[in-house]
Amino acid sequence: MTDSEIVKTSMSEDDCENFRTIELLFFAYRSFITDADEVLADYGFGRAHHRVLHFVNRRPGLSVAELLEILKITKQSLSRVLRDLMDSGHIAQERGAIDGRRRLLYPTKEGRALALRLSQLQSRRINAAFERQDNEGRRNVEEFLRLMIDPEDRDFVDQLGPRGDI
């Protein structure tokens, strides 16, 4: 053991005013991802695979560079996850028609089915929570979550969504 003094008292709201919210976010996220984690484990996938599947399915034709920007991960980390998803037949990659150096990512039918299965599990949990809220409550929750995003990323996140058929 080091020479550090042991602290035997709990941190309190006097130390940081948002402990309750921090804990609620922790436990909500843990519950939110549990169902998807169980499905992903059956494929030998993890949360990084889930995020890639989600955004590639929401924006077919997404470039690797765009995906790196969304996920804020290294090329090395993404490379391993993409290799797993391509080897398993969930994601396909094509060269860009205009710029052959660009690698564009598309879901396969299997990738679409898995992404929908994961999203439907999470959507059921969201819907169950929102059943106790009116529309204004839902808008308040969504605005709270949006405001939790770094200000310089909000416009980018606001523009995310389906790209449409390409």
Residue 115 lies in a domain: yes
What does the pLDDT look like over 30-60, one tens digit per residue?
Answer: 999 999 999 999 999 999 999 999 999 999 9
H helices of 3-134, in order, are 19-43, 47-58, 64-71, 75-87, 109-130
What does the pLDDT look like over 117-149, one tens digit per residue?
Answer: 999 999 999 999 999 999 999 999 999 999 999
Q: How far is CA 63 from the centre of its chain?
A: 17
Instruction: Give dist(CA 166, CA 161) in Å, integer.
Output: 14
pLDDT of residue 118: 98
Q: Write down the mean pLDDT value for the chain.
A: 92
Residue 130 lies in a domain: yes
Q: Which domain holds residue 51?
A: 19-159
Residue 46 lies in a domain: yes
pLDDT of residue 165: 39
Residue 67 lies in a domain: yes
Residue 3 lies in a domain: no
What's phi and psi for 132, nearest 5 deg?
-95, 5
Identify which of 50, 82, 49, 48 has the alpha carbon closest to the alpha carbon of residue 65.
Answer: 82
Predicted confidence band at 98 (pLDDT cuts at 50, 70, 90)? Answer: confident
What does the pLDDT look like over 69-78, one tens digit per residue?
Answer: 999 999 999 9
pLDDT of residue 131: 94
